[in-house]
C-alpha cells in the first residue's frame, strides 16, 4: 500500500501593489485577499483530483492554518487540523520583516537564487537543515501505512527540506514551491519515499 502526502505551501500574504516583505517564523500574518483566493483554488484543484485527506497537518502560523482550513473544508470535512511546530517557517534573521528590495541589497540576488535553487543558506538566516530534514523523515515514517492521503501545509523555507528527506527526489528540478503550489510524496509500505510531483499549481 502506498500512502500519498501532499505538501502545500500556504497562500499569499500580500496583494498586488503591496510592499512585499521577507516574512518568516517571527512574522505571523494572515492571508491576503490574493492568498485566500489561492487557497480556495488549491482546494478546488485537490478536490478535483479526488483527494479526501484523512489527516491534515499545519504550521501554527495563521497564513498556514487559514490555508489548511480552506482546503480541509473541501477535502477533509470533519478532520481536525494538527499543528506541527516543525512546519513553521524558518527565521530570516536580520532580514525578517524587511522589504525584499532591502534583502537583495544586503545579501545579493545571487544569494537568493542559490537559496531558491539549492537551499544554500544566506548569511544571517537561522536555518537548521539537519533538524528540518529529520522532521520531514519523522512525518514520512509516521505516514507510512496510513490508509488514505495526508496533507501538510507549510512555508517555502521549510518545504524544500522534504526533498532531502525523500529517498528519490529526482522529479523536483528546483526546491522552491510557488505560493499555494504543492508537492506529492509517495510512501510505500516499507517506508521508502519518492517525490512524485513538485511545484504543481497554483
Q: Looking at the annotation, which residues are catalytic?
A: 10, 89
User: What SS3 class is residue 190?
Assistant: coil
What letter does residue 184 receive in the DSSP assignment?
Answer: E
> Taking the mean position of all CA atoms in its chain, how far away is CA 30?
16
> Hey, what's the torsion of the CAs at 144, 172, 29, 124, to 10 degrees?
110
The x, y and z cell numbers of residue 36, run together, are: 485566500
**Cβ pair 76, 53 in contact under 8 A:** yes
**Cβ pair 23, 89 in contact under 8 A:** yes
Amino acid at each position: 500500500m502506498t500512502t500519498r502526502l501532499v505538501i502545500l505551501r500556504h497562500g499569499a500574504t500580500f496583494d498586488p501593489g503591496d510592499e512585499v516583505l521577507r516574512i518568516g517564523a517571527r512574522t505571523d500574518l494572515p492571508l491576503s485577499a490574493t492568498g485566500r483566493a489561492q487557497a480556495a483554488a488549491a482546494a478546488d484543484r485537490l478536490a478535483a483530483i479526488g483527494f479526501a485527506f484523512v489527516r491534515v497537518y499545519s504550521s501554527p502560523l495563521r497564513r498556514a492554518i487559514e490555508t489548511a482550513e480552506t482546503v480541509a473544508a473541501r477535502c477533509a470535512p470533519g478532520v481536525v487540523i494538527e499543528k506541527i511546530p516543525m512546519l513553521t517557517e524558518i527565521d530570516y534573521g536580520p532580514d525578517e520583516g524587511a522589504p525584499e528590495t532591502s534583502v537583495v541589497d544586503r545579501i545579493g540576488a545571487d544569494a537568493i537564487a542559490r537559496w531558491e535553487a539549492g537551499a544554500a543558506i544566506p548569511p544571517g538566516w537561522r536555518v537548521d537543515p539537519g533538524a528540518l530534514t529529520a522532521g520531514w523523515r519523522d512525518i514520512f515514517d509516521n505516514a507510512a501505512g496510513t490508509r488514505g492521503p495526508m496533507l501538510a501545509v507549510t512555508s517555502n523555507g521549510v518545504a524544500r527540506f522534504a526533498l532531502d528527506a525523500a529517498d528519490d527526489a529526482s522529479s523536483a528540478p528546483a526546491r522552491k514551491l510557488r505560493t499555494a503550489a504543492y508537492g506529492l510524496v509517495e510512501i510505500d509500505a516499507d517506508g521508502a519515499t519518492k517525490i512524485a510531483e513538485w511545484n504543481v499549481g497554483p
